[in-house]
Amino acid sequence: MIVYFDSSSIVKWLFDEQHMDLARGIRNEAEIALTSLLSFPEVMSAIYRAWKEGRCSKSHMELARDEFLRIWLDFQWIRVSESLMHQAGKLVFRHGLRGYDGVHLASALLLEEGGDDIDLFFSCFDRKVNRAAKKEGLMIH
């Protein structure tokens, strides 16, 4: 299974929270794991915020950060380009998305457009983004 992971899915691998088992299961099934380079600062920010907001201890935050740095190297990264940004902007208006959500969706759609009959699974834990991904023809959970 080829899976595009947005940052909301990756964060669930690092913390015990709702839907973590589903996110981890998808990760374990993925033959190829892809994400945008923009996931790096997004996930690092989520890890830091979890500690600052008191949702985890400092030691757990540090373990989550170190685990993320370790698994980051296992991803194939989608690089940001001018055309990708334009597509993301169109998706923002078409579906009422936030900026980075548009980038994640555009990144996944770029993969699907460029692949020879690949079955790309889009792993995201944001309902609005998932609705948009489904409307764009992606497989979601």
pLDDT digits (tens, 9 = 90+) for 66-76: 999 999 999 99
Give the predicted TM-score (pTM) of the model.
0.93
Check: CB of residue 47 under 8 Å from CB of residue 14.
Answer: yes
pLDDT digits (tens, 9 = 90+) for 80-99: 999 999 999 999 999 999 99
Where do the structural domains in the chain lie, given as residue ranges? Answer: 2-135
**Predicted pLDDT of residue 112:** 78
Beta pairing class for 2-5 and 32-36: parallel
Place of tokens 């170190």: 66
Please tell me the CATH code under which domain 2-135 is placed.
3.40.50.1010
Strand pairing partners for 77? 35
C-alpha span between 73 and 82 (Å, rounded)? 24
In one letter, which amino acid is 106? A
